[in-house]
Amino acid sequence: MKPGSIAIVGAAETTRLGSIPDMSNIQLHADAALNALADCGLKPSDIDGVACAGETPVAIAHYLGITPRWVDGTAVGGCSFMLHVRHAAAAIAAGYCNTVLITHGEAGKSGIGLNRPPPNRTSLVGQFELPYGVYGPPSMFTIPVLRYMKTYGMTEAELAMVSVVQREWAGRNPRAAFRDPISVDDVLNSRMIAYPFRLLQCCLVTDGGGALILTSAERAKDFLTKPVYILGTGESVETPMISQMADFTSSRAFRVAGPEAFKAAGISHGDVDHLMIYDAFAHLPIYGLEDLGFVGRGEAAAFIGARHTAPGGKLPMNTNGGGLSYTHTGMYGMFALQESVRQMRGTAPAQIEGAKISVCHGVGGMFAASGTIVFTNQR
Amino acid sequence: MSDSKRPRPQPTPETQHYWDGTRDGEFRLQRCDDCAKAYFPPRPFCPACGGRQVSVFKASGKGRLYSYVIHHRPAPGFTPPYAIAVVELEEGPRLMSNIVECPQTPEALVLDMALEVVFEKLDEQISLPVFRPAQGAVA
């Protein structure tokens, strides 16, 4: 894909976020898809490519009445949608399809029609991790951080600052679930979940969804929405077992996906006006800032502490409030992408004035996978 | 720490030797005959070089506490708070485990403390390798 040759022309979230007990998992996909189609004035029959995770492309295409000639069911966790954007851009550039719909919907809170297979006792995770009492992401994703803290001397108070700063952004976003300011003490005094992680360092659990529509930059001119161009993309995976992550202070998948996207886009860190780093837990922006090269090893906590990623800082990050304060259905990556698109369109609640380049970085599973997209509103 | 609700691993042909070993009180790893690298989890080839010539050997069962969390929420078969740890073995590979014969507190669980394997019998077929502070070592 040539940088800037593919654009996002349609983008929307589900009409509601949070607790949506009157919608099933697949209907959340459809609600987001219909909103994205309305956003750019298309009908399901205009779509010829479908990508999704959490439901199969078969189920989504059939449910929405779409006859695709290209599908992608890549499901590597919460960054699946970054990979879908990457794959869709390549497919459009190759002529496999013209107009791709990417959907996310997840009844993470209400659980209605949720597709989550039970753990398999013969899998490597089932044999070598589940017997030791891991129980959901808060008990697994968090395991590497004590090693990071010992290696670089990061304190619990510094880690708590991630949540504090993101709540400041959420306070500027009327759709954010939690908007009241919090202090480092509030974070450290919140209920212990998995030491050293407290409740306010763990993401929300919500219902919701989002959808994107991509087409060629040439065709994008015919739409009323402001095109958001894809400059560069990257992806990788590492391991399904958190215990087998090669370096507990750094994600190999981040270190592959991030630089690949920067190189393809032909940008350097100083060009980035806006940044999204998937924050299922408070340490992820720390790892992301370092693995993407925005700061050196062990420097991310001080960088956040110095308010560089906060409102008014030089590198505004997670401006919707993030998975910690905005919303988190389970596979949050779609919401990070939606915020990048809003920032590039100039329609974000906490808009960064004059922002021209947005980097959106996702994680899947427990440091299992990663996808990075570089967006711009310039062509 | 554990009771009958604790999740049981189900061995596959590729991992049976490991679970046979723990059942018999022996902690087994595999090593590549070509590149000599020890690895985990079990598989009948070397993940470093792809070689199919590999050997099972009795490992030292010694390691150090690499990282952990102390889980404060209930999980089937566990009474919180309990530590979920990753142990770095003397031979190089790391594995998830629990730390026994030790208070489940940040003060007692010190990174890099020396550990040694013991086996927790779940049933006639499955014994789990867990770790305790090395005998004679200062925790």
**B73 contact residues in A (CB cutoff 8 A):** 135, 138-139, 193-194
Say what the pLDDT of residue A330 is.
Answer: 97
> Residue A358 falls within a domain, yes or no?
yes
3-state SS of chain A is CCCCCEEEEEEEECCCCECCCCCCHHHHHHHHHHHHHHHHCCCHHHCCEEEECCCCHHHHHHHHCCCCCEEECCCCCCCHHHHHHHHHHHHHHHCCCCCEEEEEEEECCCCCCCCCCCCCCCCHHHHHCHHHCCCCHHHCCCCCHHHHHHHHCCCHHHHHHHHHHHHHHHCCCCCCCCCCCCCHHHHHHCCEEEECEEHHHECCCCEEEEEEEEEEHHHHCCCCCCCEEEEEEEEEECCCCHHHCCCCCCCHHHHHHHHHHHHHHCCCHHHCCEEEECCCECCHHHHHHHHCCCCCCCCHHHHHHCCCCCCCCCCCECCCCHHHHCCCCCCCHHHHHHHHHHHHHCCCCCCCCCCCEEEEEEEECCCCEEEEEEEECCC
CB distance A128–B71 less than 8 Å?
no
- What digits encode the pLDDT tens for the residues A61-99? 999 999 999 999 999 999 999 999 999 999 999 999 999
ipTM score: 0.96
Q: What percent of chain A stands above pLDDT 90? A: 98
Mean pLDDT for B4-20 is 95
Residue of A nearest to B112 (CA): A147
Contact residues, chain B to chain A, C-beta under 8 Å:
6-12, 15, 40-41, 66-73, 75-78, 81-82, 84-86, 94-98, 106, 111-112, 122, 128
Tell me the count of A-B CB pairs closer than 8 A.
111
Mean pLDDT for B88-93 is 98
CB distance B11–A133 less than 8 Å?
no
> Residue A53 falls within a domain, yes or no?
yes
Phi, psi of A150 (to 5 degrees): -70, -40
Say what the pLDDT of residue A115 is.
Answer: 82
CB-based contact (8 Å) between A124 and chain B?
yes
Q: Do residues A325 and A179 touch, judged by C-beta distance below 8 A?
A: yes
CB distance A131–B7 less than 8 Å?
yes
Residue A345 pLDDT more than 70? yes
Say what the pLDDT of residue A286 is.
Answer: 98
| Pick among B84, B95, B119 to test the A interface (most A CBs inside 10 A) | B84
> Residue A223 falls within a domain, yes or no?
yes
Query: CA A115, A119, A121 angle in degrees (round to 5)?
Result: 150
CA distance B93 to A164: 37
| Pick among B40, B71, B79, B112 to test the A interface (most A CBs inside 10 A) | B71
CB distance B71–A135 less than 8 Å?
yes
Question: Mean pLDDT score of chain A, rounded to an integer?
Answer: 98
Closest CB to B6: pick one of A131, A139, A191.
A131
- What digits encode the pLDDT tens for the residues A18-70? 999 999 999 999 999 999 999 999 999 999 999 999 999 999 999 999 999 99
> Residue A78 falls within a domain, yes or no?
yes
Helix (H) or strand (E) segment spanning residue B35: none
CB distance A132–B96 less than 8 Å?
yes
- B136 CA to chain A: closest CA distance, Å? 24
Assign B117 to helix, strand or coil. strand
CB-based contact (8 Å) between A118 and chain B?
no
Residue A354, domain extent: 6-113+204-376
**B98 contact residues in A (CB cutoff 8 A):** 132-133
CATH number of the domain at A64, please: 3.40.47.10
Say what the pLDDT of residue B139 is.
Answer: 45
Residue A118 pLDDT more than 90? no
> Residue A1 falls within a domain, yes or no?
no
Band of pLDDT at residue B1, cut at 50, 70 and 90? very low
Q: Do residues B113 and B133 touch, judged by C-beta distance below 8 A?
A: yes
Residue of B nearest to A126 (CA): B9
Question: Mean pLDDT score of chain B, rounded to an integer?
Answer: 95
- What digits encode the pLDDT tens for the residues A120-161? 999 999 999 999 999 999 999 999 999 999 999 999 999 999
> Residue A293 falls within a domain, yes or no?
yes
**B84 contact residues in A (CB cutoff 8 A):** 132-134, 139-140, 143, 194
Q: Do residues B67 and B74 touch, judged by C-beta distance below 8 A?
A: no
Band of pLDDT at residue B137, cut at 50, 70 and 90? low
| Pick among A129, A243, A283 to test the B interface (most B CBs inside 10 A) | A243
Residue B59 pLDDT more than 60? yes
CB-based contact (8 Å) between A133 and chain B?
yes
Beta pairing class for A207-216 and A6-13: antiparallel
Closest CB to A131: pick one of B86, B111, B128.
B128
**A151 contact residues in B (CB cutoff 8 A):** none
Tokens 């690499």 -> residue? B66
> Residue A148 falls within a domain, yes or no?
no
> Residue A152 falls within a domain, yes or no?
no
The residue ranges of every structural domain in chain B are 16-133
Number of structural domains chain A divides into: 1
Tokens 């981040």 -> residue? A254
- What digits encode the pLDDT tens for the residues A256-300? 999 999 999 999 999 999 999 999 999 999 999 999 999 999 999
